[in-house]
Structure 1
Amino acid sequence: MAADASQLEPPRRRAVDGGVINFLSSLQLKQFSLCPRRWYFAKVLRLPEPESKAQALGIKGHAQLEHYLRTGEDVLGDIAQAGHHLLPPPGPDLLVEESFGTPSPLTADEVPFVGHIDLINPRRMSEGVLRITDHKFSSDVARYAATPAQLVDAGTEAGLQMVGYGVWAALSGARFPGVRVLELEHIYFQTRGARRAESVLARTSTEHVTREWTEKVVPMVRRIREVARATRSADAPPNFGACEKFGGCPFKAKCLSGGPTVSLMNRLITKNQAPETAAQLPPTPPHVPPPAAPAESLGTCDRCGATLTQENTSKLRSGDVLHVSCPGAEVAAVLPPDAPVASPTIAPDAAPKRRSRKPKGPTAPGDHREPPTATSLQDERLRLFVDCVPNMPATSLSEYVAKVASQVSEAGGVEDLRFAGAESALGFGKWKGALAMAIRSAPPAPGAYAALGLAHSELLQIAVEALEPLCGPGDFVRGAR
């Protein structure tokens, strides 16, 4: 009795064991090209991947097609039935779910490849033509179907698989003697909306697929070897542009949060933390405000007698110094035209009450608690002034953005994230998403910031867009355009 194709591959042998690659597959190549870190989670750490509904639908459709092509019994469901006219008549000469065999003739950098081919049609071998078909189940054929040029290009996702199949056939000369022309085909079955199917066919030579495999796949396998030897997932380059592709990466949360591993985002967050965090400082005694940093005195306010500092004053063009939070008079602030209307100053005895407590009569003797001033409340908020000059001391946002951009560049292994190459995790514009995530994960300290010259700085534009949702009502002010 002939052995089943699945028995030809050792089931207990792992693709990667102790950093050593035992074998690869076309699926692993596609997974690595999509995101090396995702491949690392799946094949090196061997984290489980839940089966999606789309995968279950594809498995069911493949089983129906295999049964029909082997036996001729029409068990095709409504999805597979739409492509019935694209399938060859069933017969014993067709090779259905053909295994690569053991040992596999297909290798790259001395790593053997395993796998199965959906359909091999040798009925034109007398002309030196061999057709290799892979069945694809897609939610939108018009949107996701590959082109003939992609099927013969190992630099594309579709070509990685089909070129490998072609090279395997070329190396199996004893089984396909005289093969010169390869017809590489995808048959797409649409799973959503109207039932439809489409064939995408590319004709090429055995010399072409062999050259593509040598020039593009072999270097990729060498990079896979390097990633397989990594001891941390942080050393596996991520592709943040692929987090939502194909239904979303199952390891996205672990990649971004760190989990038991360290990711690019964790490295950025660690760098942005101050040397002394709030957890390292001694706890503040209850009902005692934290000590304030000494401020340079500018005299006292004529109305309320409070000490004037740079934090609670604003200097007008006339040279007058105004006490911004003075309870004794309302001061007209100099704000941009579209600034929100300021709320009236709250007197100390009318301070808002906490929901969790109710006042219990007059203040006890000896209790010298003071309500927070308007200035202290402002200091605890993030305020952003875009293309306008605030009426309070503000820090340039450019310094913070330049620091974060430098950290993202360093974490991505490039000098400047804006010039990241194709091999970098920040390439093809993915640096924009990485920068935005780094800013949202570690925003600047509370205070007032000015972002000037937004039209001339793409870094500032990304930072402002990332920080706007973090600002409270009235804390995001944009100048007139």
Structure 2
Amino acid sequence: MSPVAEGLKQHAVERGVLRHLSVSQLRKFALCERAWHFAKVLRLPERPLKARDLGTAVHSQLEHYLSTGEDVLGPFAAAGKYLLPVPGPDLLVEEHFGQPSPLFADGIPLTGYIDLVNPRRLAEGVLRVTDHKTTKSIVGYAATPEQLASAAHDAGIQMVGYGYWAVLAAERFPGLKQLELEHLYFQTHGAKLARSVIATVSVEHVRDEWLAHVEPMARRMRDVARATSPSQVKPTWSACQKYGGCSFQAQCLNSQSQGSKPMALMDRILKPQTQSTQSVTPTPATASTTPPTPAQAAPELELAAVLPPDAPKSNPALASAPAPEQPALAASDEAPRRKRRTKAEMEAARAVEPMQPAEVSLSLFVDCVPNCPVEPLASYVGRMVAKIEQECGVVDIRVAPNDSPLAYGKWKGVLAATIRAEPPEPGTYAALGVAGSELMQVAVEALEPLCGTGHFVRGVR
């Protein structure tokens, strides 16, 4: 990428005004608006990833080979050589959108590069647009043709954008009728594999997809670019673990707990509870006679805030003793009461009960964020998964070979046992996007009984 293009990329958002966009920005925004705000508005650096560096190296090898014909392909890129076109001057390699770009979204120009544009079947009205992808597991992560053809999917946003760019550059591709939108995958773990996934669509299809999905997204991006705080931007918790995990999880959680505006999920949870929570505040008279409840003993956790919105409202009359003038219920109207245990029975029960730790060791909030600093559970889970993959010699514990001790769903028990044997450090953690991650689901179930005297809180939808 040229220094000029790199400079434009770095300053795409200036003082809350979108100067230009790229298809990769559109894709990041579709995954999580708050992550895009961290990266492009606040310009926070993303953490380096070995997978990203490897992907850059593979892309460079492919670019050199397709541009010059010189075979410099490493072992990963060489696995897909048979899927590449024969190098030649007619191929458009690392093709820039042009200056000015013909592609706009809500009046904002789009800039970028396309890995490969192959016009060799343009006489038949067909143009192939290819994006090279490196992935840990083709089976686990490759997109489908349907996803590539839809701008409602994050993978499709990029490919539909490339296709629509070609449609708008009509003078360069005369007679264009159909587009072959291709993801060419190169597997970087385990066996050296490659796969081509192609969606064949019409020029009308990419135009309709762009207008229906991307234009409204660009209008939303204008609003997010003007946000002054991450807490004002909607997060997408199900995207936290995608593509190696979000770089901004810690900042996201801390800004959520300290921000002036709660997230949409917490809005639905907190608002119905605000009035009832205040109404049960004990008066001085009641406070002197009523022992404190666990919620009163640790008010900073505000556990009542995670009750579902349709939970029964608390009744202040039930929180205090009946007034002296209120007649007691007749014995026949009273509900049956549990038999009070004798002192000897209580002492015997305590003798056989396991001793509980005196201090809170682990608190876990699932798909919700407490009003205090927390750590993302995903980092810990990622370390445990990587440890199992290394010890068992597999690429992905979820798609282990049939002869592996992790095959046929056994990885869930292995992961749960590993987590119980090596739980995270004491503290408060948040597990977000659990519904969309089997790994997180197993981790949450394994950690629930380990919370002990801490707190295990599950959000509601």
Alignment of 1:471 with 2:438, yes or no, is no
SS at match of 1:89: coil
CA displacement, residues 416-437 of structure 1 (integer Å, 9 cap, x when unaligned): xxxxxxxxxxxxxxxx9434x4
Alignment of 1:342 with 2:350, yes or no, is yes
Question: Structure 1 residues 202, 267: closer, same or farther in 2, change over 3 A?
Answer: closer
Alignment of 1:11 with 2:19, yes or no, is no
How far apart, CA to CA, are the structure 2 residues paired with 1:180 and 1:59?
Answer: 32
Determine if contact 1:136/1:186 at 8 Å carries over to the other structure: yes
Higher helix share: 2
Determine if contact 1:133/1:185 at 8 Å carries over to the other structure: yes
The residue type paired with residue 71 of structure 1 is: T
Alignment of 1:162 with 2:181, yes or no, is no
Question: Structure 1 residues 295, 331: closer, same or farther in 2, change over 3 A?
Answer: farther
Which one scores higher on RCO, CA 8 angstroms, separation ≥ 6?
2
**CA deviation after TM superposition for structure 1 residue 247, in Å:** 1.4
Match of 1:294 in 2: 288
SS at match of 1:218: helix
Match of 1:385 in 2: none
SS at match of 2:132: strand
How far apart, CA to CA, are the structure 1 residues paired with 2:243 and 2:96?
Answer: 26
**CA deviation after TM superposition for structure 1 residue 319, in Å:** 9.6
Determine if contact 2:257/2:373 at 8 Å carries over to the other structure: no
Question: Structure 1 residues 10, 466: closer, same or farther in 2, change over 3 A?
Answer: closer
CA displacement, residues 288-347 of structure 1 (integer Å, 9 cap, x when unaligned): xxxx953389xxxxxxxxxxxx9xxxxxx899877x7xxxxx43149xxxxx941399xx
From 339, 345, 357, the counterpart of 1:332? 345
How far apart, CA to CA, are the structure 2 residues paired with 1:112 and 1:194?
Answer: 41
- Where does structure 2 lack aligned partners over 5 or more consecutive residues? 279-285, 292-320, 322-335, 375-443, 457-461
**CA deviation after TM superposition for structure 1 residue 467, in Å:** 7.3
Alignment of 1:183 with 2:196, yes or no, is no
The residue type paired with residue 342 of structure 1 is: R
Determine if contact 1:240/1:433 at 8 Å carries over to the other structure: no
Determine if contact 2:80/2:194 at 8 Å carries over to the other structure: yes
From 367, 370, 374, the counterpart of 1:434? 367
CA displacement, residues 61-116 of structure 1 (integer Å, 9 cap, x when unaligned): 00000000011000000000000000000011100000001111000100111110
Q: TM-score, normalised by structure 2?
A: 0.62
How far apart, CA to CA, are the structure 2 residues paired with 1:192 and 1:344?
Answer: 51
How far apart, CA to CA, are the structure 2 residues paired with 1:188 and 1:464?
Answer: 34
Aligned-pair identity (%): 47
Q: Write the mapping of 1:290-439 to structure 2, written as runs, cut at 5 A.
A: 293-295=287-289, 330-333=343-346, 341-343=349-351, 433-435=366-368, 437-438=369-370
Match of 1:91 in 2: 88
SS at match of 1:189: strand
Match of 2:148 in 1: 151
The residue type paired with residue 201 of structure 1 is: I
SS at match of 1:168: helix
- Where does structure 1 lack aligned partners over 5 or more consecutive residues? 276-291, 298-309, 311-316, 325-329, 335-339, 346-376, 383-431, 443-462, 477-481
How far apart, CA to CA, are the structure 1 residues paired with 2:132 and 2:41?
Answer: 28
The residue type paired with residue 367 of structure 2 is: A
**CA deviation after TM superposition for structure 1 residue 222, in Å:** 0.9
The residue type paired with residue 250 of structure 1 is: S
| Structure showing greater Rg | 1
Q: TM-score, normalised by structure 1?
A: 0.60
Determine if contact 1:232/1:261 at 8 Å carries over to the other structure: no
How far apart, CA to CA, are the structure 1 residues paired with 2:197 and 2:337?
Answer: 75
SS at match of 2:151: coil
Alignment of 1:123 with 2:131, yes or no, is no
Aligned residues: 326
Match of 2:45 in 1: 48
Match of 1:101 in 2: 98
Question: Structure 1 residues 319, 173: closer, same or farther in 2, change over 3 A?
Answer: closer
SS at match of 2:367: helix
Question: Structure 1 residues 333, 59: closer, same or farther in 2, change over 3 A?
Answer: same
How far apart, CA to CA, are the structure 2 residues paired with 1:194 and 1:45?
Answer: 40
Question: Structure 1 residues 469, 344: closer, same or farther in 2, change over 3 A?
Answer: closer
Question: Structure 1 residues 30, 140: closer, same or farther in 2, change over 3 A?
Answer: same
